[in-house]
Structures are given as C-alpha cells and as structure tokens.
Structure 1
C-alpha cells in the first residue's frame, strides 16, 4: 500500500524538488528508505552549511529548495543561516525530524518540544501535521507559501513513524502568486518621474529576484535617471559600468540624505532604501524629494519612514512605468561615476586582490561574496556588469557565503563560481569545503586573509576604540584546511603569485582555494 513516503516523493518530484540538502540523524532516516534513483542527496558536515547550500541552490534555480534537519539540535545549528535566508527572501522548505508520536508524552531523547515555535520568526509558516497522512499536504503548503512573494523559508516537523504510514497520493497544484500593481498609483508615479528635474532610482535585490535587470536599464536610460544601489543589497540589479550608475548608498541616515540631495524624485525598487547600520539624526530623505517605493515585500513598505509605497513585483511595475509619459524636455544625464586608478601590486591589499579577480575572472563567472570588511574595496574594484552574477548575505550574519557558493555551483554547473571570502567569515563554515570536494564542483574559493576580524576594527574606530580583544587569528592556515578537506590550494603573498594562483584556480574544473595574504 502507498505510504506517506511514497506520496511525498511523488509530490516533490512534481514540484521539481529532487535535490535534498541535509545532515541526517536518527529521526530522519525513514524518510530515505528506498531513496529514489532520480533524487540527489547533498550532505553538509554541519546544519548551518546545509542551510547555506540550500539557500544558494534555491537562488540559482529560482525554485524552493528542500532542507532536511535533525530535530531541535540540528535546527538550532541552522538558525543563523535560516535568518539569512529570511533576509535574502530565499524560498526554502525546511523539514526536521521528530520523535515517534507514541513516546512524545515522555519527552524522549532527541525530540523537539515546541518544533513550530523554534524557527520563528524566521519562517513564513511552520507546522507539525496532526496526522501522518497530512505530511504531504503540509509539505505542499510549505512549498506554495515559500514561493509566494515575498519569498522565504517555511518549516515542517515530521515524526519519525509517519513515513511508513499508509497514505493516498497527493498531487501537486499550481498557484499563480505574482503581485501585479494597480494602474492608478503606477500612473501617478510615472507622471511624477516624467516631470522631475533630476530623478534617481535606488535598486535593491528584488529587481534581480524579479528578473527586471533589462527593464531597470530601459527606465533609467529613458529618463536619464541616476541609479544608486540600496544599502546592503544582496544582489546586483544594475550594471556597475553603466554611465548612469551612481554608486552605493551607505547604511546610515545622514549618508543616504547627502547622496540623494541632488535629486528631486527618488524611486526605490525591490528592497528597503532606508536601511541603517548605525544611529543617525535628522530627516530620512531630502525634504524636497518626491519619494516612491515599489517592491513585493509588504513589510518593507510598512516600516519605510517616508514615501508612497506600491506593493508589487518589480518586473510588472517596471513594464507599466515604461508605458508611461515621456520625460520632461531638456533633462541632462548625470555625470558618470568615476572609477579609481589601477593599483600596481606593490602592496598586496584587499583592493588589489579584488582588482585582479575582476581582471582575470571568466566572463560568465558568478561572484558569491562574504568579506564584510572588503565590501567598499569590492564596490570600487570588482564591478558587477551582468545579470545574476552576484550574491551575498542580506542579513550580515557570517557563515553563508562559502556554502551558498556550493549551492550556486550545483544550480549552475555551466558557470564558474567564485567565492570571495574573508578569513573570519570562511571559518564559520569551513567544513563546507568537503561538500565541494565530494561533488567535484567548479568553485574557486578566494580567501582574503588579513588575520583578524577587520570589520570589528572598523567599527571599533567608529566607537573610539583603538584596541579590541578576541579578534586576532594569524595562525590560521587555509591551504592546510583546504587540503584536509580534499580541495587543492595555493598561497599568494605577492602580485605575481596572486595572478598565477587566480589563473590556476579559475581554469580548474573542480574546487580550488586561493589564500591571498593581504596587508
């Protein structure tokens, strides 16, 4: 007789979720009895790595990824990257094992006492089905909720003895959940844009998620609008070598106002524009600016301090704006954003490493970044010029970039994936190298090694602190760590060695690691 497992496997196959990311424990094993030949199980050596790989894979495939965790302990390990997936608006269906229903009253070993509460508030929906036969329906609902804008993770707790219970088939359904804007507010926004003297667009990650790269370029060019990147945007939504590219907004109130003061109209697309990392004072936006916001996340619309918000997918809204009125006559295009002069490599800095990555990387390569203290240098030296070729963490939490690069390589095997990582960030998920080696993925891990948590030193100076405790780790040897996980590696501490190592890594078919030692 068909079981819960049979019904669930058939459902997952229909939903295109045949890759499972996990680190199995005892309460999950019955899920994998007679594991189907057309499914793939991707093991991570720690649950945070598992979650990060699934995040990268889901973003690369544009479909929800399936994660399998181990009751409370495994879910707890994964929470940091679950928070990042929530902030990234990544669609995930996270499952976790639960002990057998018959012994739950006795608080058994390795059970989850409040399984649906534990991952909150970083999931859109959580459930432990009331009956075994409800497991496929719960997973189907979790999938559809995860794939409804704004995308995000969901969670299903499944008792160990449910999988072998009899169950009728549960065929997949189709739900169309795009957010299409009303015509009247879009017409008002388009009219204000057309009348503006010096308009600006501020692009967030939602533009990339919605596949609106070409539409944003078209709108900017039509209206000669400067294009800024929203603070801490986790995706690239506009080519950074375009003449209308204006730069990156800093996550501080005064800095945002100063950057946008020349503009009398500001349209934020696909993400929060007033995202702050430090305290500030004064207005949130220039008083003279007409501010509009368009994105699929109603929460962003609700807490935005100023502006008229339209909750909609960016591609649908931009298509309507492109049909709007032509811009005012005589509008001048803003001056292009200047590029810094080339560095000669006499000093090996993070800026020089990023410059050489830009010069030597394959044209279609994908950058997955988690080097917080080098973010400014990356903006200056590693321009992203093609759609869907840059990903980073929207949460600021560490340990996402390395496994996300592995998931991205699984999703896009035809592209070279380059993981640009700080040494401190890399250590949060270094065991992910094992998965890259086991799967033979074409990932170049480039570790910018400065021997300390440089981002904290920058913040220390902000708080007037000249010395910090517990932030130094010069002893780390990333080549040894890579080789211990089965990944070939090279160390570079001068310009010639760096270029040779990067060229070797970018040409390799399997995973490689470059330890770039910087001043």
Structure 2
C-alpha cells in the first residue's frame, strides 16, 4: 500500500512544485512572466520551507524551453516539465509542442493564466497586460497537439491533476500535455496537502495480440525477400539489439527509412541501407515498425502482391488527419514487446525459412555498404567547394567515441558508421525549424559526460534563436559544438519548387528564388564569441577538419561552446 505524505507547503504553488519533484520531475524549464509570482516566492522560501523542488532551467525564449526539454527527454528517457508565460508564452511555444507531439515525447507543458479576478483576491490583476493577455480559450492554441489539457483550480486537486497529467503524457503513444495555472490558485494556502509518496507508476505498454504476431511470423518465415523498415524504434534504445538479433537469426533484411534514431547498427550484415525505392520493388513482405509515412504515394509503392504490415503504439497514426497507406495486417503494440514476442514466434518457424535468402539479402547489403564507402572516398579526395557529403566525411574523421549528434539538416547516419544507440537524433517528422540546437542543449544537460554536436543549416540555426541558445550554454554550463552548413538558401523551398515544376519559370531562371534566398549570410561564429565561446568560419576544404578539431578542443578541454560556420555549396 502506498504511503501518504503531508507536504509542508504554505501555498498551492509550493505543494504543486514539491509534488512534481516527488513524482520524478527533476527539472523545470521556464520562461517567466508576471504570472510566476507565487512560483518565484516558492523557490525563494526554500530555506524556510525545506521543500525539495525541481531544478530551474531558465530559458530566454519559449522555443528554447520546449525544445531543450525535448532534448533532455532524448538524453535520459524521462518526462520533462516546462512552464511558460500565459497566452503569449504559449503562442511562442506552439511549434515546439507540435514537434514534441509528432515525436511522441512526454512533456508536461504548463503556463500561467492571466489572473481570474480583477481585484479582491491574492494574485488578482495588478498590471495592464492582465486584460490584454487573457483569452477565452488559451489552451485552444495547442489543443490539437496535446493529449490532454486542464486548469488547476484548487489545492485539493494538486495530486489528482499532477498524476493525471503525467499518466496521460507517458501512456503510449506518449506525448505532451498542457496545464494552465491561475495566479490566484497558486497563491492560495495549501492547507496541509497530503499525497501518496513516491514516483508515479509508469503505464505498462500494450502487448501485441498473440494471433497477430503468429500471422506476422508466418509471413516473415515464408517470404523470399522479407524486410523490416524502421524510422523511430531507436527511441527506446533497448530495441536496437532485439531488432539486430531478429534480422540476423531469421535472415530478414532491415532498412532505416529517414531514421530519427540509431535503430540498428549500420554495419548489420543484412542492413539494406536508407533508400526505400529498391526495397519496394523487391520485397514480398514489408513490416513497418512505427513508421509514420511508410512511403510517398506517387514516388513508389509496395508491389501489389506484397504483404504490408504496420506495427506500433498507434500503427495508423490517428493524430494525422489523412494517411491512406494500405496495411494487410496492423498490430497495436510497443516495439520492444513485439520484437520480444516475434523472436519466440519465429523460433517455431525457423525450419520453413528459405536457406538461400540470407545470401541474397547479404549481397544487397554489401553492395550498399561499398557504394557508401566509395561516395565518402570520392568526397574526401575530390576538390572544389565544400558540400554536405564532404562535411559528413570530415565529421566522421573527428567524431569522438562519446559523441552524440543532434541533427537538423546535414549529418547522415549512413556516412557516420559506428553510431551506438542513443548517439544520433535526427529532425522530428513535423519539420518545425529551430529544434536542433535547443535539443542539443537538452541532451547535454541530461548527459553531462558526453560530447554533444549540433549539426544544423543556416536557416535552422536562425530559427533556433541563437542568442538565447548561446546565453543558455553560458548560463547553465552546457558547451556544445555547433556545425552550420551555411549555403545561403532554404534548400527545402527551392527543391520543392523545382520538383513540382521541373520545366517551370523558377527552374529556367537559373538562380535561387527570392523565396529561398538567405543571403547575405551572417557571421554566425560571432554568436559564440559574444557568449565567451569559440567561433570560426570555414570556406576551404582543407580547413574543415582542423577547425572541427579546434571546436572540439574548446568544448571538451576548455568547457566553452563552439560554432564552426561552414560555407557550403
């Protein structure tokens, strides 16, 4: 039976914060405003109250706060908490919340609420902005992206509300939740709040249906060219060795489709690479493990006679308004549970597996590895301007064994062999720019013993509010190496127009459209220098590897952040 504990809290704010820490929330990422007065007082009163409260991580912009919390979850696997300033802070944070939602990251996103009362109660309105900032439905801004939203209304609710929020956020598919905190409620006396003591129970994920697993095992065992396709299974690093074992033992090809994590070792003997097109043409069984967009209609689809299986906590991604990819078998399950069960189910069917298919799959995997090696070798030896392939080669030359890469543009896992689970995080599926650098800070905060490298473009660096990010690096002691591929354009905008209108006027113009142009490119390295860090601009191939080494030295030996601004074709 759970033990009940009385929290020695004077106010609801103190009780709320103490309960967060009691439930395992170790950090509170904040961007404060006038609604924070009871929170500020709660932290100032700690020498008197003796309460154990979450560590405060002050962030100079809301996108930094939410994306840094996102990165901290990537770093330690725990839910994180954020507090923003009323409606305006929430508005600035919506992109980060959308990014966390599509990445299934459990965040408790909270915000103050404009005071309820015009006067007469502790915490009532005392500034002109309290009228202008109030909304009829503050949570409506992000309701589509959160799993739950609510408003704290009284001290007697604190335990129920906190536990409900964390329970919903962590239940698979995980995601952010939103809680508003009126100033008057936070300022009320706590009246001896009692609550169950200890961390909240973690919801147990759904187990796969045994009959469905048996059907999947039969399809995989009887196939001539079976392939497992994954993008995000490595969100739980414990799945990587299971997927590795499954494909090795039972001669199943594995392909990483726009991977966001290290899902399986790149050197796996049956790793078919990162290009889905050839696999769609060959595979007679395709098992998609938690892949939100299995293929792009019109660019290639599975064979008509292929068996298509979709698996995951929400295999059809119900939060996406439209998603018409076919599925002959859908299994609702967490990936680790499925892989564990599938290993056992295939043991019983191993004798039925075609003995020749391992050699066929291994041959394809070997040819793919050879092509990647040739591509890197060519990039290393050829001359001309710096391109992204050369940048990947250079990063591979200097990446330390403890390095963790947080990518929002150019770093590709296929060119950075030897990445262990948890050593690579790629852009979330929603594509809201400005995630990468703040997320890298969150990873560094959660893993202070690792070297964190943020690989971004000039556009994503500007969207990250770099002044706020470098301020946080200095304020919280989070040295990160940031490597910018500065090509002076929005590549996604340009490529989209040229793809849709290959013979159009934009293509014939022979120059970058004004919609895609970022010129003139600022001296981004100066952001690091302005915050006491190391900054360099690189324009020639011969200078890149030495500059990266100097940047790593600044981060690892001197404890200073570094920016390497690379002029890239």
TM-score when normalising by structure 2: 0.84
The answer to whether 1:468 aligns with 2:502 is no
1:70 and 2:70 correspond: no
Is 1:204 paired with 2:231?
yes
3-state SS in 2 of match to 1:246: coil
Report how far residue 226 of structure 1 moved. Answer: 1.7
CA contact (8 A) 1:206 1:295 kept: no
Q: Which position in structure 2 is the counterpart of 1:97?
A: 112
Residue 331 (structure 1) shift: 2.5
**Do the aligned partners of residues 66 and 354 (structure 1) sit closer, same or farther apart at CA in structure 2, a change above 3 Å counting?**
same
> How far does residue 220 in structure 1 lie from its aligned partner after superposition?
0.8
Task: Report the structure number with the largest CA radius of gyration.
Answer: 2
The alignment partner of 1:490 has SS state of strand
Partner of 2:331: 310
CA distance in 2, matches of 1:178, 1:58: 18
Aligned to 1:394, the other structure's residue is in SS state coil
SS of structure 2 residue aligned to 1:90: coil
The 2-side partners of 1:65 and 1:42 are apart by: 11
| Structure 1 runs not aligned, ≥5 long | none
Pair 319,517 (structure 1): closer, same or farther in 2 beyond 3 Å: same
* Structure 1 residue aligned with 2:355: 329
Higher helix share: 2
1:249 and 1:179 map into 2 onto residues whose CA distance is: 31
Partner residue, 1:111: 134
* Aligned equivalent of 2:3: none
Change (3 A) 1:299 1:132: farther
- How many Å separate the matches in 2 of 1:441 and 1:73? 27
How far has the Cα of 1:262 moved from its partner?
Answer: 0.9
Name the residue aligned to 2:432.
Answer: 397
Task: Tell me, in whole angstroms, the C-alpha distance in 1 between the residues paired with 2:34 and 2:315.
Answer: 40
Name the structure 1 match of 2:407: 369
Q: Distance in 2 between matches of 1:329 and 1:13?
A: 55
Q: For residue 341 of structure 2, what is the aligned residue in structure 1? A: 320
In the alignment, is the contact (CA less than 8 A) between 2:290 and 2:315 conserved in 1?
no
Matches within 5 A, 1:105-144: 108-144=131-167
Change (3 A) 1:427 1:354: same
8 Å CA contact 1:185–1:310 kept in 2: the answer is: yes
The answer on whether the counterparts of 1:269 and 1:294 sit within 8 Å (CA) in structure 2 is yes
CA deviations 1:270-329 (Å, max 9, x no partner) are: 2224254xx627x84211211112111254279452221101011111011111221333
Q: Pick from 322, 330, 350: which aligns with 2:388?
A: 350
Q: Does the CA-based 8 Å contact 1:7-1:170 persist in structure 2?
A: no
Determine the C-alpha separation between the residues in 1 that align with 2:294 and 2:376. 31
Q: Residue in 2 aligned with 1:14? A: 22
Query: 2: distance between equivalents of 1:265 and 1:102?
Result: 62
Between the aligned partners of 1:169 and 1:477, the Cα distance in structure 2 is 55
CA shift for structure 1 position 29: 2.9
Cα deviation, residue 345, structure 1: 5.7
* Residue 426 of structure 2 corresponds to residue 411 of structure 1: no
Deviation at 1:410, TM superposition (A): 0.5
Alpha-carbon distance in 2 for matches of 1:439, 1:240: 34
CA distance in 2, matches of 1:341, 1:399: 28
Shift of 1:409: 0.5
Q: Give the 3 Å change call, closer, same or farther, for CA 311–212 of structure 1 in structure 2.
A: same
Partners of 1:64 and 1:31 in 2: CA distance: 20
| CA distance in structure 1 between the partners assigned to 2:521 and 2:441 by the alignment | 26
- C-alpha change, 1:298 and 1:341, in structure 2 (3 Å) is closer
SS in 2 for 1:388: coil
Compute the displacement of 1:454 (Å): 2.2
Q: What's the secondary structure of 2:42's corresponding residue? A: coil
Structure 1 residue 241, shift from structure 2 partner = 2.6
Q: What's the counterpart of residue 5 of structure 2?
A: none
Aligned-pair CA distance for 1:469: 1.3
- TM superposition shift of 1:407: 0.3
**What is the aligned partner in structure 2 of residue 186 from structure 1?**
213
Partner of 1:56: 71
Q: 1:170 aligns to what?
A: 195
Give the match for residue 516 of structure 1: 566
Q: Sort the Cα spacing of 1:379 and 1:461 in 2 relative to 1 into closer, same or farther, 3 A.
A: farther
- C-alpha distance in structure 1 between counterparts of 2:80 and 2:395, whole Å: 30
Question: Can you list the C-alpha shifts for 1:159-186, whole angstroms capped at 9, x where unaligned?
Answer: 0121232331333542433121121111
Find the residue that maps to 1:28 and give its secondary structure: helix
Partner of 2:546: 500
Correspondences of 1:203-222 after superposition (within 5 Å): 203-209=230-236, 211-222=238-249
Q: CA deviation at 1:446?
A: 0.5
The 3-state SS of whatever aligns with 1:16 is coil
Question: Within 2, Cα distance between the matches of 1:312 and 1:370?
Answer: 29
- 2:473 equivalent to 1:436: yes
Measured on the aligned residues, the alpha-carbon RMSD in Å equals 2.3
Secondary structure of 1:52's match? helix
CA-CA distance at 1:73 after TM superposition: 0.5
Q: Call closer, same or farther: CA 1:177–1:117 in 2, change over 3 Å.
A: farther
**Following TM superposition, by how much is the alpha carbon of 1:128 offset from its aligned partner in structure 2, in angstroms?**
1.2
Structure 1 residues 180 and 379 mapped into 2: Cα distance closer, same or farther (>3 Å)? same
Give the whole-Å Cα distance in 1 for the aligned partners of 2:56 and 2:280. 48
Q: Which moved more, 1:106-115 or 1:334-343?
A: 106-115
CA distance in 2, matches of 1:260, 1:365: 34
Matched position secondary structure for 2:35 = coil
